[in-house]
Amino acid sequence: MTIAVFLGSLLIAMAIGMPISFALLVSGVALMWQLDLFDAQILAQNLIGGADSFPLLAVPFFMLAGEIMNVGGLSRRIVDLALALVGHVRGGLGYVTIMAGCLLSALSGSAVADAAALTALLLPMMVSAGHEKARSGGLIAATGIIGPVIPPSIGLVIFGVAANVSISKLFLAAIVPGLLIGGALWVTWAWLVRHEKIDPPPRKSAREIVTAARSAGWALMLPVIILVGLRMGVFTPTEAAVVAAVYALFVATVIYRELSFADLYKVFVSAAKTSAVVMFLIAAAMVSAWLITVADLPSKVVALLEPFMGNKILLMIAIMVLVMAVGTAMDMTPTILILTPVLMPVVKAAGIDPVYFGVMFIINNSIGLITPPVGVVLNVVAGVGRMRMDDVTRGVLPFMAAEFAVMFLMVLFPPLVTVPARWFGG
């Protein structure tokens, strides 16, 4: 009955068009009434306490860093470097998209920001070169979702806070899985364009490649600083977010000089608005998370999944299928916040490594950003690229299938994640 009250109130609130953050509050109040615990003071305390978290400071700072990178020329220089390196091969612009997407993922940690930047910079080039617009848009959308996987990742930060798992370990464990997803997209694109007769751009000279690398060098230093700093214990993920924002601001204003002080106000306002939406969503979800714990919903979910508890792989497959289904109808952040307090007790009871589960959970939620009908990243690509949603959806299907295949490969063979995680984590 408790599960029915929680899910029913949440789904009804969402169905009538209520924003997800307010829908979470409604479901929390419904649970309070059902448990005979309603108290406005408790509601307010949990709402405030949900956002009062030092690790969550990483979210607004990483968002600010992403805004600065897109406006300040860092993203464009990354794309120029990828174009200089692989733009001349058959289907080269697709490989440029994948390479640039992986590099941008190590800068911003946001799928929406990466997809918007790649669409604006590369979609017109791919279409003018002769590539089908739907397929090009689909590749860009599929590449954009690497953003929440390769660190720094806002999704991993939110999961780490919600699950009480080391964010540094999550960051280091997600590097290789993110690159494997990029490799799957590379192979899929090569298969799809093998018969295309499109003349690629001319090969760049060695001098042009060196020039592009030198120009992008300042941008490429950012992920190096963050990962080395985390690996060596120089700073925490929250401090890394501040370093990223300050470094990006310095490079954009002093080195590249593409971000004027007049534009700076708009950048800060845009980052603040986005951060406010996410932080309120997190705060509202923490109310539901507290009530989920009080109502002992995790034990009920454990009972439902009892047939799978004896086999870790079967349990992970069941959880991944559940998250896939939820991801078709819900955005990434609320999915993380709603399911994490429910699933973590199941994961711990089954003896699954929480860091491994966290990486797989975020990968699944990231792919959910391109699964219709919601598909936030699909909407971004369609909007920026002035395409129909149906066309982007049709174009993304083969790439989405490749990403799901890689995800389930890592479910069947956990060492693909755990071994590199131990190596990076020392």
As separate numbers, helices (DSSP H) first and strands (DSSP E) second, the chain gives: 21, 0
- Per the structure block, which two tokens stand in for 69? 């990178």
Q: What's the DSSP call for residue 203?
A: P
89-101: average pLDDT: 85
Question: For the CA atoms of 384, 114, 109, 135, what is the dihedral angle to 10 degrees?
Answer: 100
Percentage of residues in the chain with pLDDT exceeding 70?
95
Amino acid sitting at position 41: Q
Closest CA to 134 of 364, 359, 388: 388
Q: What's the DSSP call for residue 151?
A: S
Neighbours of 53 (CB within 10 A): 17
Q: Domain residue spans in the chain?
A: 1-38, 39-425
Detail the DSSP E strand segments found in 248-352: none
381-410: average pLDDT: 91
pLDDT at 230: 78
pLDDT at 363: 95
User: pLDDT tens, 102-156?
Assistant: 888 877 767 877 888 888 888 888 888 788 899 999 999 999 999 889 888 888 9
Percentage of residues in the chain with pLDDT exceeding 90?
21
Position with higher pLDDT, 154 vs 426: 154
pLDDT at 1: 63
Give the pTM.
Answer: 0.82
Q: What does each C-alpha distance from 176 to 160, 244, 323, 401 come to in angstroms?
A: 18, 21, 22, 19
pLDDT category at 395 given cuts 50, 70, 90 is: very high
Q: Given CA atoms 253, 258, 264, 269 in this order, what sign does their dihedral have?
A: negative
Q: Would you put residue 202 in left (φ > 0), alpha (ψ -120 to 50) or beta?
A: beta
Position with higher pLDDT, 90 vs 269: 269
Closest CA to 243 of 229, 262, 260: 229
pLDDT at 402: 95
Closest CA to 261 of 46, 56, 68: 68
**Distance in Å from the first CA to the final CA of the chain:** 46
User: pLDDT tens, 287-327?
Assistant: 777 777 677 666 667 677 777 778 899 999 999 998 888 88
- Per the structure block, which two tokens stand in for 44? 């307010």
